[in-house]
Chain A
């Protein structure tokens, strides 16, 4: 199996590549991203490239890639400008799909990491979205529009390339010690802020399960669209009590966006998608994924508990280690220099 992972600099991409490296049946792992990887990789080859489809196509053809994992979708509109998010989510997806299509393409499998933001959050939502449901209203924010458009491109790619197994995974909010998201930073405050009069329903998926689900989609064939979420749905007040923090209904139900401005000083950026989640909440039906035999190790409740445990020791462990930094020369020396002793069955521990 020869795998290409896009967005290798993202948490998901990096962790997935690490997981795939352990499997000797996966011969080649190529990671592409416009930014340097953020985690230590042993045999994954990193190519700094954006989403230009001509370049990607050459990589795919040259390395005879048979499996492409697209984990680069921007799901948090505070991490990029609206224009950059549109570039990455719509144009980027289009280009990657173009690089994988064509009669001579070696690609046999395409795994697309999508998000439950596809469904939006509205007053008249069902309590559990199934994969076949559409959002009841057109997308409200630019990011949601882009996500819907990207998924549409993936669906039409699947229709045109019947020989390719296409998997789209709609992940709910991820939570875990290493994952930096807007919700993670909201939950690390001394109190959990909420909108007065609302106690939204929330589902989370543990970061290990995110990687596990992606890995499963690479190894097995999962054609179609799947919701990926931990079992169970919590209300925000329950999340707060699991975190051991008081729920503080400090945000007014009207003019919420304005009231969120001061939170920015505390380093908490609340994107508009999260604002509607804090109001209406969302649940998805994960049974199709479970029926397909994908293992989920954490329920939503266990995910929050694990995050609470992490938060309790995070303050104590804060100076534990330097964050990983990618150094091209070091990585290339370790991979290609004849001076480095390599053994195929027991790879030497590399220092980053």
Chain B
């Protein structure tokens, strides 16, 4: 057998080189589309409409991968883009944040074009592993998933189940810290008063909510956010290398850590809500 040139065991050495002429990343993220939306919509929402106030953005590491975990709310959730914008605006070393989304968006012609362009990546464990471990990027997950965004206004700021702890396992496998985020304001920006199951089945959407502007204003109603005051608090990162080698085999530990993170975010939300005197002015 001929001797091959000593190959490195770490596949991270073989990631494709960055082609600077390109404006779209290998994940389908487009600088141009994102920049356009950033200059027009995000900037306005962030600074003037939601008047975001950010605390502890320094907890997001300046390099290497990290998994950001936040509570999730609002029928067309504004929290994702505002967290992305917060890292971009406030962090001393801004980096793009990738956002995990449901596979539904890849298959639906209304969203399939846009969602990857603005940083959405299907929430497949292999995608998260590649982003976090191989590429050392920031990934934002909402473990509540659609259970968070479809919940009604009466259940606001009551965290749903945190999935099956998959996000903890992902961070453990990638050996990256978890940064919990507590976000106040998104619940009031697009409250959901009811869910219409029949119309959901008819339209094939994830859910069909009744909000202050939707469905009676049509698709435009989806853009009608109420000007609630946003507070985004990045909490102390949780290192995932503290439990020895391959801790994800211990399902109890994974569930325990997931519950612990859920508890920390919930507690932080209670504290932030207790201090909040007005939904609109903070």
Contact = CB atoms under 8 A, between A and B. Distances in A.
B11 A197 contact: no
B271 interface: no
Given A231-B17, A291-B14, A197 B112 contact: yes
Interface stretch (B44-52, B59-67, B118-126, B161-169): B118-126
A292 B2 CA distance: 12
Contacts of A326: none
27 contacts: A124-B122, A124-B124, A125-B122, A126-B125, A127-B121, A127-B130, A128-B127, A196-B109, A197-B108, A197-B112, A197-B113, A220-B4, A221-B1, A221-B2, A232-B16, A232-B19, A232-B22, A233-B26, A235-B24, A280-B106, A287-B15, A291-B13, A292-B7, A293-B5, A299-B17, A301-B21, A301-B22
Given A197-B110, A280-B107, A127 B27 contact: yes
B19 A299 contact: yes
A127 B110 CA distance: 20
A234 B24 contact: yes
B28 A288 contact: no
A233 B135 CA distance: 15
A126 B24 contact: no
Given A127-B27, A235-B24, A299-B16, A198 B127 contact: no
A123 B127 contact: no
Chain A contact residues: helix, strand, loop or mixed: loop
Contacts of B276: none
Interface of B: 1-2, 4-5, 7-8, 11, 13-17, 19, 21-22, 24, 26-28, 30, 103-104, 106-110, 112-113, 116-117, 121-122, 124-127, 130
B2 A220 contact: yes
B39 to A, nearest CB: 20
A232 B26 contact: yes
B105 to A, nearest CB: 9
A220 B110 CA distance: 48
A133 interface: yes
Given A201-B28, A280-B106, A283-B26, A301 B126 contact: no
A123 B103 contact: yes
A221 B7 CA distance: 14
A130 interface: yes
Contacts of B21: 301
A201 B64 CA distance: 26
Closest 4 CB pairs of A and B: A197-B109, A231-B16, A123-B107, A126-B126
A301 B19 contact: yes
Contact of B126 (A128, A221, A231, A293): A128
Contacts of A279: 107
B11 A291 contact: yes
A292 B27 CA distance: 25
A287 B109 contact: no
Contact of B127 (A126, A253, A287): A126
Contacts of B104: 123
Given A123-B103, A233-B26, A293-B5, 14 more contacts: A125-B122, A126-B125, A127-B121, A127-B124, A127-B130, A128-B130, A196-B109, A199-B28, A232-B16, A233-B28, A285-B130, A288-B11, A291-B7, A291-B11
Question: Which secondary structure dominates where chain B touches chain A?
Answer: loop
Interface string A295-311: 00001010000000000
Contact of A287 (B1, B11, B106, B113): B11
Contacts of A301: 19, 21-22
Nearest to A124: B103
A290 interface: yes
Nearest to B19: A301
Nearest to B6: A293
Contacts of B110: 197
Contacts of A133: 126
A273 interface: no
A197 B28 CA distance: 14
A127 B122 contact: yes
A133 B127 CA distance: 13
A256 to B, nearest CB: 11
A195 B125 CA distance: 27
A243 B132 CA distance: 33
A199 B33 CA distance: 13
A130 to B, nearest CB: 7
Contact of A235 (B4, B5, B28, B121): B28
Contacts of A42: none
Contacts of A235: 24, 28, 30, 116
Contact of A126 (B16, B22, B117, B124): B124
A66 interface: no
B6 to A, nearest CB: 9
A238 B26 CA distance: 11
A124 B101 CA distance: 11
Nearest to A123: B107
A231 B7 CA distance: 18
Given A124-B122, A290-B14, A198 B4 contact: no
